[in-house]
Amino acid sequence: MRNIRITVQYEGTRYKGWQRQVSTEQTIQGKLESILSRQFGRKIEIDGSGRTDGGVHARGQVANFRLKEEETELFHQNMEELTALLNGYLPEDIAVLGAELASDRFHSRLNAVSKTYKYRIWNSPVPNVFDRKYVWQVKEPLDVQAMERAAGYLLGEHDFAAFCGNPRMKKSTVRKIYEIRIEKKGPEIDLIYTGNGFLQNMVRIISGTLVETGLKERCPEEIEEILESKDRKKAGAKAPAQGLILWEVKYD
């Protein structure tokens, strides 16, 4: 068997997220698996680097799957041909940026050393008509300096249970955030997170909490108390899905 690594981007507006679901065909994983399974006449499963929520986008999602040796001969082991094959059947809001042969031990999720997410905020009472599917419009002015101070408390390794959207999470909720950058470009404010991994809804909950800080609904120092509480109810509201993009996944 040959291990194939692909990089995928998608506009997630009309999808129920990355992970395949029995109740719907509208998932990114499901679309890719369906094309591969039809092409090679057997069930092929794909592992992704992370499970983006419904409505969330990706610029650099990484996934891997396995093909038999004889199956790779159908495209002469040419990864550009495989990329073209997939893009020929995918809908216009999903694209495979590239494919490559990976080592047999490569796993897109387990081998990831860092992930970067970007959350886009449109901070203006006037809507952004053209980017409305990709930003969260916050009409009231945001105090970016207060948001930066709050973000500082989140850096490093912490138990992020209070920022986890799964109340029945049985695995460890400890994660490490390497960097949070807040970039203001006119009315757009981008929150850029890099860490060793993120819990379900974690980036959206942190973003919602930072926005509440920027609106002066809470003070930056509350972040410490929220982390220590491990109580989801103490953190802010979950930011809307459409502002979030899985930006990049890095490997050794």
User: Taking CA 214 as the corner, what is the angle to CA 156 and CA 185, rounded to the nearest 5 degrees?
Assistant: 90
Task: Return the SS3 of 135.
Answer: coil
Marked catalytic residue, from 53, 93, 143, 231: 53
Q: CB of 154 within 8 A of CB of 177?
A: yes
Tokens 């930006």 belong to residue: 247
Q: Which two tokens stand for residue 239?
A: 């930011």
User: Taking CA 156 as the corner, what is the angle to CA 155 and CA 162, rounded to the nearest 5 degrees?
Assistant: 75
Q: Which of 94, 83, 25 is nearest to 57 (CA)?
A: 94
Residues 6+ apart with CB under 8 A from 104: 1, 3
User: Taking CA 184 as the corner, what is the angle to CA 182 and CA 189, rounded to the nearest 5 degrees?
Assistant: 75
Q: How many whole angstroms separate alpha carbon 77 and alpha carbon 68?
A: 11
Tokens 């990864």 belong to residue: 79
Strand partners of residue 114: 250
53 catalytic, yes or no?
yes
Residues with a catalytic annotation lie at: 53
